[in-house]
């Protein structure tokens, strides 16, 4: 691990200053970040192991300073309801969200998603903001010591395109971006299904607009922008939500596919993740069941519609069936809640 500075900040203004210039990185739970630093994922391509790259990597870069926002006063660790809105502080731990009675009763998909993240130890450290802002999963992108100068790091190609892509996108590369790494967040689809907003020190961002396909970033956050709160509106009367996840190792792994749904309100919402570079709002599936009673047949039709635009690789065709099944099961679970 390379050397870096560590700074405990007491205010958002102090944190913003420490991040100025793009040489600092926020740390809270650190469950993903510390692993990245240990593996030197941020090493710059200033050697000639792969020859001269035409596009020097703009990011990610190894941070000069880790800015600890857990020391900010007042604390960013809280769960509360105010004016019909659930407010969750950025440093709130996933374990606390999963255990919260209000979240379980009224924002069920969010509690279920938090409970399915990794292991108990990770949930005791990991935060809601860190979960939605984490970097993509791809073994070429995350190979220690930057052995693959992929396009997400400023290189010329996506090695997964012609390589081992068994866990990658089933919807092809993002528009204008030749990268098929998937977004791994479990909290993201639940927050999108519940129509949440991400509040920062400068603005409020609808959660669907938070994720950015443009390389090398995965969010729309500026270098000195800090997530402070997640806001979730109270679901409409009669609405129910559910979250399901398929992973190889149920107790620890990142999703092969996950799914969150909201039904019973004015309009259904169906969201998949780990199927593309950003969370995928399955609008065709929503249209397929709008105004209809959720039963085996309608839930199955929604599953088919959710993957109607899928363009899987040979190695990812199995994920299409998993996505269809999760949509169906999540809808049935929510309708019976």
pLDDT digits (tens, 9 = 90+) for 133-144: 999 999 999 999
pLDDT tens for 296-332 read 999 999 999 999 999 999 999 999 999 999 999 999 9
List residues bridging with 271 in a β-sheet: 260, 281
Q: Is the pLDDT of residue 47 over 60?
A: no
CATH number attached to the domain at 1-237: 3.30.465.10
pLDDT confidence bin for 216, thresholds 50/70/90: low
pTM above 0.85, yes or no: yes
Q: Report CA torsion sign: 138, 140, 141, 143.
A: positive
Residue 193 CA to residue 18 CA, distance in Å, equals 34
The pLDDT score that the predictor gives to residue 44 is: 52
The pLDDT score that the predictor gives to residue 193 is: 98
C-alpha separations of 139 from 115, 159, 163, 188 in Å? 25, 10, 10, 21
Our CA dihedral for 167, 171, 175, 179, rounded to 10 degrees, sits at 10
Least confident of 47-51, 200-204, 212-216, 242-246: 47-51
pLDDT tens for 252-293 read 899 999 999 999 988 999 999 999 999 999 999 999 999 999
**Mean pLDDT in the chain?**
92
Residue 38 CA to residue 138 CA, distance in Å, equals 17
CA 129 to chain centre: 9
Domain ranges of the chain: 1-237
Helix 296-306 and helix 317-336, axial crossing angle in degrees, nearest 10: 140
The count of residues in the chain is 337
Helices (H), the chain: 12-19, 33-38, 94-99, 101-106, 108-115, 120-125, 128-133, 159-162, 187-193, 283-289, 296-306, 317-336
Residue 332 CA to residue 298 CA, distance in Å, equals 9
Residue 149 CA to residue 250 CA, distance in Å, equals 31
Q: Is the pLDDT of residue 57 over 50?
A: no
């Amino acid at each position: 691990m390379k050397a870096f500075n560590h700074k405990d900040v007491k205010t958002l203004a102090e944190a913003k200053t420490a991040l100025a210039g793009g040489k600092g990185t926020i740390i809270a739970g650190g469950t993903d970040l510390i692993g990245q630093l240990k593996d030197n994922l941020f090493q710059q391509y200033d050697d000639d192991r792969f020859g001269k790259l035409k596009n020097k990597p703009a990011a990610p870069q190894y941070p000069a300073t880790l800015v600890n926002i857990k020391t900010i006063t007042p604390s960013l660790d809280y769960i509360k309801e105010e004016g019909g809105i659930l407010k969750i502080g950025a440093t709130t731990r996933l374990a606390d969200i999963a255990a919260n009675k209000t979240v379980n009763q009224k924002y069920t998909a969010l509690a279920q998603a938090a409970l399915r993240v990794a292991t108990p130890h990770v949930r005791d450290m990991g935060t809601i903001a860190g979960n939605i802002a984490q970097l993509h999963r791809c073994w070429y992108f995350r190979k220690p010591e930057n052995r693959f100068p992929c396009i997400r790091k400023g290189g010329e190609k996506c090695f997964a395109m012609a390589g081992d892509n068994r866990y990658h996108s089933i919807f092809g590369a993002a528009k204008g971006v030749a990268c098929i790494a998937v977004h791994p967040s479990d909290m993201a689809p639940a927050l999108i299904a519940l129509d949440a907003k991400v509040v920062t020190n400068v603005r409020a961002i609808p959660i669907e607009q938070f994720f950015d396909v443009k390389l090398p970033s995965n969010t729309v956050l500026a270098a000195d922008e800090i997530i402070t709160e997640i806001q979730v509106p109270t679901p409409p009367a009669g609405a129910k939500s559910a979250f399901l996840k398929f992973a190889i190792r149920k107790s620890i792994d990142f999703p092969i596919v996950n799914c969150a749904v909201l039904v019973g309100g004015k309009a259904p919402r169906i969201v998949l993740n780990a199927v593309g570079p950003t969370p995928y709002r399955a609008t065709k599936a929503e249209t397929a069941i709008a105004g209809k009673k959720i039963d085996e047949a309608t839930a199955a039709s929604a599953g088919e519609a959710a993957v109607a635009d899928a363009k899987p690789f040979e190695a990812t065709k199995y994920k299409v069936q998993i996505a269809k099944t999760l949509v169906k099961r999540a809808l049935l679970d929510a309708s019976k809640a």
